[in-house]
Structure 1
Amino acid sequence: MAEIEIVLPAIEAADTVVETDAGRFRVIGQHIPEKRVMVDPAILRDLVKAARAAAKNAHVPYSHFHVGAAVIMADDPEGSVITGANIENASYGAAVCGERNALHAAAAKGFRRIKFLALSTSDSLDGPLPDRSPCGICRQVMREFIERDEAQDAALILVDTGDADFTADILDIDRLLPYGFRL
């Protein structure tokens, strides 16, 4: 299949200032530049399918909320698909999300830069994006594995829709976690 260009549109919202008797407050706006990525849509489709299949391997005796993830790392010359599923534990703090399991497996192989990451929440596929998107910890971990100042070739994050008309909602880390922590 031929590559296509995916354009993530620029987002511009200016800061505003609120003047009060108690002082000035700034309401932070948003500036996210346009990003363009050339991709083979069949790879994205297959990655979403791999994430959905990985969700079947989730160990979720407490939440019953299955999450699968599949990642292709930009620094993997073979473009391998690495999957993960959420694994819960009676000690809730020991639970690990599917996205982090996939990224940790990739990092354990020596890879450090996400190219594409797909996730599937099989128990909420027909829900709105907030019911299907990664938790805050996973967003921060994703940011760790994405180039600091990516301009072109942005890492794409695909969220399975479960919809017959759409394969996935597409985001990048700036849209998913606009003010993520950086050292």
Structure 2
Amino acid sequence: MENTAINFQELTELALQARERAYVPYSHFAVGAALLCKDGTVYQGCNIENAAYPATNCAERTAFFKAVSEGRRDFAAIAVAGGPAGEAPAAFCPPCGVCRQVMREFCGADFAIVLSDGGKIQAYTLGELLPCSFGPENL
């Protein structure tokens, strides 16, 4: 699953950098994401909370929405790292269901999702994390 333009370790380092910009005054749980386009371009995202909780946006969706708003549609992988703000991640932080569905809108089953606990890396495909999914072709 490794992409030649950037390796998964470099992608997770970019996710950890994005995590530092998270706005999390309520949950104090900071998440960063780095979305790799097939041409090697990377879009970073962090979670952005809101006092009206449903208006909160996850790091993964922030990265996707930034990329899509710039006209991008071809994605290879995303790295995600999260944990208590101010601390190094101590566990893997998989994408929530809403983020997985957004990924499914733009990516196929082979899209790589790379999780980092700050030291180790686990890689999955979107098909593994969202089996039997509903996508644009189902309409």
Which category describes the TM-score, using the shorter chain as reference length?
0.7 to 0.9
Contact residue 3 and residue 76 of structure 2 kept, 8 A: no
The structure with the greater share of residues assigned to strand is 1
Q: Which runs of 5+ in 1 are unaligned?
A: 1-36
2:7 is the alignment partner of 1:43: yes
Counterpart for residue 52 of structure 1 = 16
2:74 is the alignment partner of 1:110: no
Aligned length: 133
Higher Cα radius of gyration: 1
Tell me the secondary structure at the aligned position of residue 111 of structure 1: coil
2:32 is the alignment partner of 1:68: yes
TM-score relative to the length of structure 1: 0.67
Q: With CA pairs under 8 Å and 6+ residues apart, which has the higher RCO, 1 or 2?
A: 2
Counterpart for residue 21 of structure 1 = none
* Identity in percent: 37
Match of 2:47 among 83, 86, 92: 86
TM-score relative to the length of structure 2: 0.87
Match of 2:60 among 99, 106, 109: 99
Match of 1:162 among 103, 110, 118: 118
Tell me the secondary structure at the aligned position of residue 22 of structure 2: coil
Q: Which runs of 5+ in 2 are unaligned?
A: none
Counterpart for residue 8 of structure 1 = none
Match of 2:104 among 140, 143, 148: 143
Report the Cα offset of residue 179 of structure 1: 2.3
**Aligned residue type for 2:32:** G
RMSD: 1.9
The structure with the greater share of residues assigned to helix is 2
Contact residue 87 and residue 95 of structure 1 kept, 8 A: yes
